[in-house]
Amino acid sequence: MKTSWLRIGCIGYLSLVFFLISQEVIAEIVPVNFAKVTISDNFWTPKINTVATVTLGACITYTETKTGRIRNFEKAAAKSGEHEGIFFDDSDVYKALEAIAYSLKNHPDAAIEKKADEWIDKIAAAQQPDGYINTFYTLTGLKNRWTDMDKHEDYCAGHLIEAGIAYFNTTGKRKLMDVGIRMVKHIDSTFRLSENHWISGHEEIELALVKLYHATNEKQYLDLAIWYIDQRGHGYYHGAERDSKYDQNDLPFEDQKKVEGHAVRAMYLYTGVSDVSAAKNETKYLPALLSIWDNLVGKNMYLTGGIGSSGENEGFSKDYDLPNEHAYCETCASVGMILWNQRMNLMTGESKYIDVLERSLYNGALSGLSLSGDKFFYGNPLSSTNGYSRSEWFGCACCPSNIARLVASIGNYIYATSEEGIYVNLFIGSNTVVQCGRTKISVAQKGNYPWDGTTTINISPDSRIKKKLFIRIPGWAVNKPVPGDAYTYLTPDLSSVLITLNGQKIDFTLHRGYAVIDREWKKGDEISIQLPMNVERVISNENIQANKGLVALQRGPLVYCLEHADNRGKAMNIIFPDQAQFSASFNPSLLGGIVTISSKVPVIDISGEGESVSTTIKEITAIPYFSWANRGEGEMQVWVPRKVIDLRLLSK
C-alpha cells in the first residue's frame, strides 16, 4: 500500500478516493438481447407495429427510390456513375437495415425481409477486394480514402457492423455481418497493425467494435476499439483543422471532465468507452465517464432528457444554457443518451442511469416520431411560437432510421442479468426466458405503464431456484425527477411504493435504486408493484435562466406540455399558479389514447392592438410532450409561468 501511495503522489487524496471507489464500480451485468424478448405492451406494441408497417416503409421508399442511397451501392458495384447525396449516406442504409432486423423479431414480414436481402446483396457487391466499403470514395476516387477523418468512413462502418449483427441475431443470416468483418479487418490492418494514427471524426465505430467482439469473441475487435479511444487528444488530425472539442478530441479521454462538442458524437463515444470498460473489466476511463455524466445530467440536460442545446454545433454550449424555443435536442442525441445510460447502468448496477434512459426514451426521443409513423423531428424544442412542424424526410436523414431502430429494439432495454439475479429495468409488457445455470426462468410483465403505475411481474422457473430479483424503483417515484440538482419537485406529493408477493405486502430495501427480493422462486410466483402517478410540478435550478419563474408538469416518467389544439388555439398565455390543482384522466380518443392533465387556471386574453388585457380562469389541458405536433402547426410550451408578472410571451 505504501508503494501505491508513492506512485499516486500528486494525484491527491480526492483523486485517490475516486479511483478506489471506481475499483468497485464495474459490475458484471448483461442485457437480455432483444431477440429473446417478446413485447406485448399496450403502449409500445402499437408503436412497434407502426414502425414495422409505416416507418420502415418510409425509410425504404426514401432510401431506395426518392434518394440515391441504394443506387450508390449499385454504381459502386458496377464501378461506374456519380455519387448521389451526402458522403455519409451509406450509414442511413445500414441503420434502416438494423431497424428492419429488430422489427422482424416482433413483426415478421417476408416481403420486408426479402427487400433487406436484396439490399445486402447490393452492399456486398460494392465491397472492394481489400474489404473497404464506402460508396462515396469508391465513386469519387479510392485514392482519396482515409485522407479526411471527417468523411465518416469509419462512422459508416460502425453502423454496418451493428446492422450485420442485428440481422444475424434475428434471421441467422450472416452475409451482412461478414461484409462488416472484412471492413474491420481492412481498417485494423491499415491503421492499428501498421501503427498509423487515425481519429474518427464522428464516433460510432467504437461501440460497434465491442458489439462485434461479443458476437465473435475475437479479441482483435476489442483491441481496435481501445486503440480508437486512445488515439484521441494527442493532436492527430487528418483533413481540415477545426475546434478539437467539437469531436471530443482536445484531451485524452481519461482527462476529460465535462460534456463538449457535438452531442451525437459525444454520446456514441461515451457509449463505446463504457462498453470497452465493461468488456475489459478495467477502470481506466471510469473517473472521466462519471464526471462527464454528472456534468451532463446536472447542468446540460433538458427535463425531457433531450441534450445539445445549440444548433450552431448540434451540441453543447455552456453549463445551464438550456433555452426552450431554440433548443436543438436532436433526436439522434436522445437515442445516444439511451445507449450510453444503459451501458452506465450495466457497469455500475445503479438505477439512476435507467431513470435518465427512461426520461430520454419516453420524452426526448419518442417525440422525434409522429404518431402516424411517417413524419419526424430532427430537433425537439420545448417551446414553439412559430409553427414548428414535423417533416417527411431530411437531407441529412440520420434521425428517421435512428428512431426506427430504437423503437424496434426496445426489447434490448427491459431486462438484464448477473450472477446475483435478474434486473427489471423498464415496465413494459413483455416476456423472456433467462438461463441461470441449468435452470430456465420465465419472466413476464403486464401493466398499463406509463398511464398507470401498477405492474405485475410473473417469475416461473422450471425448477425451484434461489436468486435475487432487482426491480427498479424510479427516482421520480421516491425522490425527484432527475439525479442532481437541475430539476426538483415544487411540492412533492409522492405516495409510498407498494410491492406485493403472491398477494401479500412485503417490505423491501433499496440497493442502488432497486428493490431487491431475495428468495427461492417457484413456478407461478407473482410480484405486483404500484408506483405513485401523481401530477408533479417541476422547477429548475436557478442557474437555468430560461426557466426562471416557470414550472413544468410531470406524471410518472412523462413530461407534459400545453399545445394550441387543446387550449383555444393558444399555449403561451396560460399561468400555473402554485396553488393550482391538477387532475389526470385517460382519453382513449385523443392522440391514440393518452392521459391528459387538466386544471382551471388564469389565462391572459389580449384584444385590439394590445390595448385591452384581461385575466380569466379557464379550463386548460396538457398532453404528453411526445405527442405534440400531430395536429397541425401552432403554439406549444413545456415551461409555464407561475405568476402573471412572469409571462414571457403574450399571444397576439
> Within a domain: residue 511?
yes
- State the pLDDT at residue 11: 38
pLDDT tens readout for residues 66-101: 999 999 999 999 999 999 999 999 999 999 999 999
Cα separation, 476 vs 479, in Å, equals 6
Question: Would residue 27 count as lying in a domain?
Answer: no
**pLDDT of 1 above 80:** no
Closest CA to 141 of 200, 185, 82: 82
pLDDT of residue 649: 46
The mean pLDDT of 583-589, rounded to a whole number, is: 98
Residue 562 is assigned to a structural domain of this protein: yes
Whether residues 549 and 525 share a domain: the answer is: no
What's the confidence (pLDDT) of residue 393? Answer: 84
Local confidence band at 644 (pLDDT 50, 70, 90 cut-offs): confident
Q: Flag whether pLDDT at 16 surpasses 70.
A: no
Whether residue 586 is found in the same domain as residue 506:
no
Are 641 and 554 part of one and the same domain?
yes
pLDDT in tens, 530-541: 999 999 999 999
pLDDT of residue 344: 97
Tally of CB atoms within 10 A around 510: 13
pLDDT band at 168; cut points 50, 70, 90: very high
Domain count, the chain: 2
497, 429 contact by CB (below 8 A) = no
Query: What CA–CA distance (Å, rounded) separates 305 from 558?
Result: 10
pLDDT of residue 7: 35
Same domain, 565 and 584: yes
Q: 613-622 contacts: CB < 8 A, separation 24 or more?
A: 613/650, 615/575, 615/644, 618/568, 620/562, 620/566, 620/567, 620/574, 621/562, 621/566, 621/567, 621/596, 621/597, 622/553, 622/560, 622/561, 622/562, 622/566, 622/596, 622/597, 622/598
Find out whether 569 and 581 touch, Cβ atoms under 8 Å.
no
DSSP 100-123: HHHHHHHS--HHHHHHHHHHHHHH
Distance CA 472, CA 513 (A): 6
What is the structure's pLDDT at 394? 84
What's the pLDDT at 17? 37
The fraction of the chain above a pLDDT of 70, given in percent, is: 94
Query: In the prediction, which pLDDT does 612 show?
Result: 73
Q: Measure the CA dihedral 646/649/651/652, to 10°.
A: 120
Q: Considering 98, 314, 358, 536, which one is annotated as catalytic?
A: 314
Residues 283 and 23: their CA atoms lie apart, in Å, by 6
pLDDT exceeds cutoff 70 at 609: no
Q: How confident is the model at residue 13 (pLDDT cuts 50, 70, 90)?
A: very low
Same domain, 545 and 633: yes
pLDDT digits (tens, 9 = 90+) for 453-492: 999 999 999 999 999 999 999 999 998 899 999 999 998 8
**Together in a domain, 523 and 544:** no
Asked if residues 67 and 96 have their Cβ atoms less than 8 Å apart, the reply is no
According to DSSP, the residues that pair with 38 across neighbouring strands are 431
> Could you report the per-residue pLDDT of 416-441, keeping only the tens digit for each?
999 999 999 999 999 999 999 899 99
Q: What is the pLDDT, as a whole number, of residue 605?
A: 86
Query: C-alpha cell of 390?
Result: 414535423
Classified as helix, coil or strand, 246 is: coil
Residue with cell string 408506483: 531
The pLDDT of residue 243 is 83
CATH of the domain at 434: 2.60.40.1180
For 201-220, write each residue's pLDDT tens digit: 999 999 999 999 999 999 99
- Asked if residue 546 is part of any domain, the answer here is yes
501 and 422 assigned to the same domain = yes
Residues 525 and 552 in one domain: no
> In this structure, is residue 106 part of a structural domain?
no
Which residue out of 59, 329, 332, 398 is catalytically annotated?
A: 398
Residue 399 designated active-site: no
pLDDT in tens, 352-407: 999 999 999 999 999 999 999 999 998 999 999 988 999 888 888 788 999 999 99
Q: What predicted TM-score, i.e. pTM, was given to this entire model?
A: 0.94
What is the per-residue pLDDT for 610? 56
pLDDT for 240 equals: 67
Residues 526 and 540 in one domain: no
Evaluate whether residue 18 is within a structural domain: no
Residue 67 lies in a domain: no
> pLDDT value at position 160?
98
The single-letter code of the amino acid at 450 is P
| Confidence band of 15 (pLDDT split at 50, 70, 90) | very low
Q: Are residues 556 and 581 in the same domain?
A: yes
- Predicted confidence band at 611 (pLDDT cuts at 50, 70, 90)? low
Residue spans of alpha helices (H) in 217-306:
219-230, 263-280, 286-299
Q: What is the pLDDT of residue 494?
A: 78
- Is residue 306 domain-resident? no
Query: 58: Cβ–Cβ under 8 A, 6 or more apart, which residues?
Result: 373, 374, 392, 393, 400
Q: Which domain holds residue 468?
A: 416-472+496-530
Q: Can you give the pLDDT at residue 492?
A: 84
Q: Based on the fold, state whether residues 560 and 642 are members of the same structural domain.
A: yes
Same domain (yes/no): 573, 622: yes
CB-based contact 143:87 (threshold 8 Å): no
Tell me how far CA of residue 53 lies from CA of 107, 231, 377, 399, in angstroms.
9, 42, 19, 18
